[in-house]
Structure 1
């Protein structure tokens, strides 16, 4: 399989080094920022890491990359994470090919699954980013490849990677509970006991190693899995980040992840009665459970990608083998996918990356008057002189014991957009010439806003700031507060 890995790695290196756009803040703030702070001593630490909600294993991968700057030079700060992400993506897609080939017992299906993955616009847009969901999906690919689909081989190696994926993000356990129960029902009583006992030892060992890593990382004993359950399930505070209707994953996540592959996926489900097979049951069960959770994002079902693409490949294979124009249809769809990939990876939301690169070159402190985590931070700046720069935060209501009163809570970003004038009055000195004093924020040399934030513009101009540079960002955005271009306001030199 070396040739598969080599080809996919070359493609994903092109992918990652041409990616110019921003998707979601977790790409930076839940991985690169954490690793950057660990190695270089500065960077932004979000509340999840202060509260010990996340496993240290994911950012430690990038910390190793940052550590290599001692030997490979400072440029590796920017290059290293990209190379790591390309390698991880190539590993994942190589094992996706192995999984599809072994499950279907058909190398053609394996090749089609791999091609669908490479030309999938969502993968081109997401797979080389630094999300924990990506690592979760990659580990799932490896585990699925080692799963004994057509034999009675032990599942210990597969479960090693499955357990790792669950440690990275506990919600992956849904997939493996379904597959695990399916596997155990095919065993006899003594085999069930032996397999379960060995798996418990294996899981305990991995949790023990992870606990030690967390202790070294956090500096105290903490159990992210317990903290995760406490915040998301017991207190149900995850709805602070938004809630969606029960059908979100069916009518939004699946179409976004599969895009123009969706008709082929639905055809395969109907034609080959996939919903009666274990992979179809796993997909339906996982999506059903996630649909019961209030807070939903596309990325949450990303670990299902290898299964979704394998099912889609069955339809594509059928089309190619039974229809004379099948190959021409796939060529046309591939061209469409290339255009979609180009738009989202090169154009839409590129301004929030470019503006940070520009501000990093000015060597002047700045502030971001925009919803929290709208741009990268020190993982992109890598300059300790910008520690006096700032952005508006959005800490969740950790003081609440349940989600009952969460609708009344307004974080700092909400307060800014609810009443910009009052927010400025409470958090900034009256004059932009005054020292900071007891105010939370000082007036920097440059301020950045989204074009849609009309209410703040007269306030800034009244203080003496003037627009001095504009960056194109997006044609559309899911958050109305982030619509349009980015505008930089400069402090007048006469002050």
Structure 2
């Protein structure tokens, strides 16, 4: 906290404060405090954020969920290099190309510069996310600075940097990450009472962009927009001169981008909402009880910030109630869907940080102790989840990358026998190696007896392998699977001449089909 405060004080700020002390002898109110805070520009804070988020990026070396790669980097790789794999969502128009186009642009630039090395393809997109995350941190600080004062803004900024889940997620190439960052940017222009930074055009444009990236981004903004509409005196102008034009331009641009890459007109936002909300087919990937977000989801992503969040909700002025309404509303809406994940409610975390910072600021004598508690208690989960838990999915890709430089690349055939989409694919290999994995597309036809390939495999792994590879000429050159599968298929491995060449740590918490280690087997030549 003290270090961050020091960065905000420079010679110019000191001179400005001295001039003000000469010109104005009366005590400062809230407005005076805001002006004093504004004197320390955001440049030092941005430099700090950029450095921390760059470090953040390189200290997150684990996998989170498949969408981190399969709905962004894998699509971008295919767009630029013309080989790769698209999941079933792209065949049915549930995802749009607007978000992958960002990473495709990065890949294309690297290709034109002849710098399309696989490590750069992996890390440059993540560094781009880290830069956006740093700007979002500063935007959140600036918002609270204008609403309250520099001291409260520093507390909110500190809480944002301390959040273990933000550390874990903000540099990942997930649509949920971009949705959250755009939510912070939009929030900084939202016309809340007491703020002079409000801009209907800017915040609506940013919301529209977030909806293009992920249609569910509209959920937290429904109560916020409704509140804005009620207090807006020129309601007709708001709708005719802002909402409708911005909506038409955004949707139109999204339609054109998707028309180019799909080859036909596709309204992906409608298809996405139809699949996940109206048909609720997301249950194919698991379901949870209705209260899961309240009893597990929100408490886990808040972590030790939870008591500060509750305390801040009690203390915060009435004008911040709309932020709390947005949090509760979002959690309630997502609670109505059977399929639940921690990342789905990530966009409400910045709202929560405002209340956490407000709580920290008002602890007074306990502030330093509370700040130390937040820092230490979040450090362990941030480092553990970022450096250790579920790292095998990425580490094993280095073993596949080695096959690209092998003179026998054309003869290599890698079969990943793990729960579908457990690892990245061509975006982390970057050579046209023959690869295959167990697929698990949902049944969109409503067939009750439908079973995907992954479930068929795990119901009888040995029988499935003997049936699938009935001829030795069909055998893969390399098999990759979790250690929990080894004993069950040991007879197949021995009879077909496979030998273990690598053991890769994955997690201390194996569960079900996911083991603690990943094994790499190679067929003897």
- When normalised by structure 1's length, the TM-score is 0.90
Asked if 2 retains the 8 angstrom alpha-carbon contact of 1:275 and 1:281, the reply is no
Among 68, 72, 83, the residue aligned to 2:127: 83
Matched, 1:200 2:232: no
Structure 1 residues 351-371: Cα deviation after superposition (integer angstroms, max 9, x where no partner): 111111122113443211111
Q: Which of 57, 80, 83 is the aligned partner of 1:16?
A: 57
In 1, the alpha carbon distance for the partners of 2:253 and 2:337 equals 30
**Cα distance in 2 between the residues matched to 1:98 and 1:187:** 23
User: Hey, what does 1:326 align to over in structure 2?
Assistant: 367
Aligned to 2:78: 37
Indicate the SS of the match to 2:418: coil
- Cα displacement string for residues 129-152 of structure 1 (whole angstroms, at most 9, x for unaligned residues): 000011101110011000111258
- Give, in angstroms, the shift of residue 48 of structure 1: 1.1
**Runs of 5+ consecutive residues of structure 1 not aligned to the other structure:** 437-442
Report the Cα distance in structure 1 between the residues aligned to 2:320 and 2:46, rounded to whole angstroms.
33
Match of 1:172 among 217, 220, 233: 217
The answer on whether the counterparts of 2:158 and 2:357 sit within 8 Å (CA) in structure 1 is no
What is the match of residue 6 of structure 2?
Answer: none
Tell whether the 8 Å contact from 2:461 to 2:488 is kept in structure 1 after alignment.
yes
Cα-to-partner distance string for 1:354-402 (whole Å, 9 max, x where unaligned): 1111221134432111111111111111111x1x1211111111223xx
Q: CA deviation at 1:154?
A: 4.9
Counterpart check, 1:316 vs 2:352: no
Q: Which residue among 135, 147, 154 is the counterpart of 2:178?
A: 135
The answer on whether the counterparts of 2:479 and 2:521 sit within 8 Å (CA) in structure 1 is yes
Distance in 2 (alpha carbons) for counterparts of 1:100 and 1:302: 20
Q: CA deviation at 1:290?
A: 0.8
- 1:146 matched residue in structure 2: 189
SS of residue paired to 1:142: helix
State the distance in 2 between where 1:37 and 1:50 align: 14
Give the SS at the match of 1:345.
helix
Q: CA RMSD in A?
A: 2.0
- Pick the structure with greater CA Rg: 2
The equivalent of 1:241 in structure 2 is 285
Name 1:392's counterpart in structure 2: 438
What secondary structure does 2:489 align onto? helix
Shift of 1:275: 11
| Greater alpha carbon shift after TM alignment, 34-43 vs 12-21 | 12-21
Q: Distance in 1 between matches of 2:514 and 2:319?
A: 40
Q: 1:176-325 alignment to 2 at 5 Å?
A: 176-188=221-233, 191-198=234-241, 199-272=243-316, 277-319=321-363, 321=364, 323=365, 325=366
What does residue 428 of structure 2 align with?
Answer: 380
Q: Does 1:71 align with 2:121?
A: no
CA distance in 2, matches of 1:243, 1:161: 31
Q: Tell whether the 8 Å contact from 2:420 to 2:440 is kept in structure 1 after alignment.
A: yes
Q: Deviations over 1:237-277 (max 9, x none)?
A: 11111111111111222122111111211222234487981
Q: How far is 1:326 from its partner?
A: 3.1
Moved segments of 4+, more than 6 Å: 273-276
Q: What is the match of residue 366 of structure 1?
A: 414
User: Contact between 1:369 and 1:449, CA under 8 Å: does it hold in 2?
Assistant: yes
Residue 95 (1) aligns with residue 139 (2): yes
Structure 1, residues 449-475: CA drift from partner, whole Å, max 9, x if none? 111224233332333323232111100
Does structure 2 conserve the Cα–Cα contact (< 8 Å) formed by 1:62 and 1:84?
A: no
**Partner of residue 503, structure 2:** 470
- Local SS of the residue matching 1:448: strand
Whether contact under 8 Å (1:57, 1:168) holds in the other structure is yes
Q: Which moved more, 1:118-127 or 1:34-43?
A: 118-127
Which residue in the other structure is 2:476 paired with? 444
* Equivalent residue for 2:164, pick from 108, 117, 121: 121
Matched-pair contact (CA < 8 Å) for 1:246–1:292: yes
Q: Distance in 2 between matches of 1:234 and 1:333?
A: 40
Question: How many Å apart are 1:114 and its aligned residue?
Answer: 1.7
Partner Cα distance (2:382, 2:417) in 1: 30
1:440 equivalent in structure 2: none
Q: Secondary structure at the match of 1:389?
A: strand
Q: Which moved more, 1:331-340 or 1:4-13?
A: 331-340
Match of 2:459 in 1: 418
Q: Is the 8 A contact 2:316 2:355 kept in 1?
A: no
Count of aligned residue pairs for this structure pair? 470
Aligned match of 1:5: 46
TM-score (norm 2): 0.85
